[in-house]
Structure 1
Amino acid sequence: MSEAIVSVFSDHVCQLGEGPSYDPATDTLYWFDIVNSQLLEKRLSGGSTTVHELGQMASAIAVIDDKRQLIATETGLFVRDVATGRLTLHTPVEADNALTRSNDSRVHPCGALWMGTMAKDESKGAGSIYWFFKGELRKLFSDITVSNSICFSEDGTLAYYTDTSTGLLMRIACDPATGLPIGEPKIFIDHRSSKGFVDGSVVDRDGVLWNAVWGGKVVKAYSPEGVLLREIPMPVTQPSCPAFVGKNADRLAVTSAWKGKDEKQRQLDPQAGMTFLLDIKVNGRFEPRVLIA
């Protein structure tokens, strides 16, 4: 198995880099610095990193169509005009709760969005995971401390998620037509005895789940049966979330963070907060478009 080459994709330092999403139509990676209320974008082919000030914490982005995107923020789901950056509230989510914000979120193959929330101070059990589809919003899971690892199998029959504080990555059957869960979640990976914490994940066409291990300095790949296939060392302590990138979705971009580190710890982790490109052959796939109506 060839060794992965890890390079810096963007040297813009995020306090809490998260939510990477690649738009193949424009060859652009979007991601967030959540706590600094910034949306970042950069073309995979090169150029500078563009920073958009959002005015509120946001954590996830999805394509609606060629002109619009949907952004998950601390007050709900907003439609973003790509040309102007203008945000228009579409669906409030916990807008009356100033203590929480959005976190990990991803689009199911049918076009539904699973959106996670959490307390800004990571208070126990303050967050939830929601399902949003064609304008309808439902709460799926509550009592979540840090919502993460939301991702889906290509055929839409399986969903994954975690409450990072538990150390357990869960899997649940899904209705492929609606993205709604069926039955009860089961433990997919028990990470409690391993170093670091389960953060963001994506699932490729082969059903392999790629997970960024916060505090573990690695990205791990698991088979559909939950067997650890490989570990890719990262140059930062807190990798946060992967995304498939490139015209064939055959590489990985990974965000990272320096959040929680003091000055001395940051000196020991000098690239913390940068965004990386992993030149590793993956059988990835593009994010589905989200259906808002």
Structure 2
Amino acid sequence: MPEIETLTITAPYLPVACALGEGPFYEEDTDVLRFVDIIRKEVHSVSLAAGPASHKVVVLEDSVGITADIDGRTDEYIVAAKYGFATLRRDTGELTYVKKVYEDEPEMAERMRFNDGAVDSRGRFWAGSMNDFHVKNLQAEGCVFRLDPDMTLHRMIEDVSIPNGMGWSPDDKTMYFTDSPSRGIYAYDYDSPTGALSNRRVFFQLAADEPGVLDGCTIDTDGNLWTAVHEGSRILKLSPQGEVLAHVTMPAWKITCPAFGGRDLDIIFVTTAGVDDGEETPEGSGHHGAVFQIKAGAKGARSNKFGAF
């Protein structure tokens, strides 16, 4: 087994207090980091050149779980929102749905929302749905959908309860998918030309005596996977073989999602969630809902853009 490195982050990069910070995304064209607060229905942005003082917030009509740039568009980007896939105008926050996923099931449409996702190398937008916050007794009613650039919709992974981090190996032959309640990350053989998945297997399983569940993830150019441990105050760096290479701890409890950013794509930005009133949290984890940065000694790949439509 490789020796496990440790790194401790002591202060946030952006001391906001999101209710549920998620979906960090680096805009290479503008050198801007954006992320969402799912509960408060907000999109946040900060210019990395200008620093935290440039932080801005746009309030939305519906919750948004994940965002992605659109090939050839600068005035808007695509998101996975409450009812499905929508475009979002940068200046106003106006949402325009382009594909609602439960149009013929109004009861399901109200029960569900979108959580996490990513765009693959062929410009297809993958995103997972789950029960909305008002639904009691979480059910495995969610699905990972794939929206192709021609606007066809495909159900790829069924019967999930909390779909989380997704990504692809550098050779584009493996897709990873995080199923939070199982505390595991699964690997699939991935056929890039068709987007087909096969041969599901366990890539990594959090040990029974370790706190938390696995949440969002990002992958570096060496094929290492960096995964958030929600209610675990840390990020784990995993090798392509699923071995733990590093622990990165930070002073927040509910770590939600990492993403590479910066001009050299060598900084990992990490979103976190807030805590409920009266909720007991570990000592020293007071920066709930803040955004952190990790100078990880690794580089991320450029984010894929959703194909023009």
TM-score normalised over the length of structure 1: 0.93
Alignment match of 1:114 (pick from 109, 114, 126):
126
Q: How many residues align?
A: 291
Cα 1:238–1:264, aligned 2, differ >3 Å: closer, same or farther?
Answer: closer
Please state how far the C-alpha of 1:164 moved relative to its aligned partner: 0.6
Query: Which amino acid in structure 2 is aligned with residue 288 of structure 1?
Result: N
How many Å separate the matches in 1 of 2:306 and 2:250? 31
Q: Is 1:31 the equivalent of 2:46?
A: no
Residue by residue over 1:157-187, the C-alpha shift from the partner in whole angstroms, topping out at 9 and shown as x without a partner, is: 2111122111121000111224331x23110
Q: Which residue of 2 aligns with 1:281?
A: 297
Please state how far the C-alpha of 1:106 moved relative to its aligned partner: 0.7
How many Å separate the matches in 1 of 2:234 and 2:171? 27
Q: Which residue of 2 aligns with 1:130?
A: 145
Residue by residue over 1:209-263, the C-alpha shift from the partner in whole angstroms, topping out at 9 and shown as x without a partner, is: 000000111100001011110111111111100000100110100000124x333
8 Å CA contact retained: 2:174, 2:189 = yes
Identical columns (%): 27
How many Å separate the matches in 2 of 1:208 and 1:270? 29
Query: Which amino acid in structure 2 is aligned with residue 184 of structure 1?
Result: N
Residue 129 of structure 1 aligns to a residue whose secondary structure is strand
TM-score normalised over the length of structure 2: 0.89
Please list every run of 5 or more consecutive structure 2 residues that lacks an aligned counterpart in the other structure: none
Q: Which residue of 1 aligns with 2:63?
A: 57
How many Å separate the matches in 1 of 2:140 and 2:174? 24
Q: Which residue of 1 aligns with 2:224?
A: 208
Q: Is 1:180 the equivalent of 2:196?
A: yes
Matches within 5 A, 1:1-293: 3=7, 5=9, 7-45=11-49, 46=51, 47-64=53-70, 65-94=73-102, 96=106, 97-120=109-132, 121=135, 123-134=138-149, 135-181=151-197, 183-193=198-208, 194-259=210-275, 261-263=276-278, 265=280, 269-293=285-309
Residue by residue over 1:57-104, the C-alpha shift from the partner in whole angstroms, topping out at 9 and shown as x without a partner, is: 111110003232001101111112324433221111235320110001
Please state how far the C-alpha of 1:192 moved relative to its aligned partner: 4.5
How many Å separate the matches in 1 of 2:281 and 2:245? 31
Please state how far the C-alpha of 1:266 moved relative to its aligned partner: 6.5
Query: Which amino acid in structure 2 is aligned with residue 13 of structure 1?
Result: A
Structure showing the higher strand proportion among its residues: 1
Cα 1:84–1:262, aligned 2, differ >3 Å: closer, same or farther?
Answer: closer
Alignment RMSD: 1.9
Please state how far the C-alpha of 1:5 moved relative to its aligned partner: 4.7
8 Å CA contact retained: 2:6, 2:247 = no
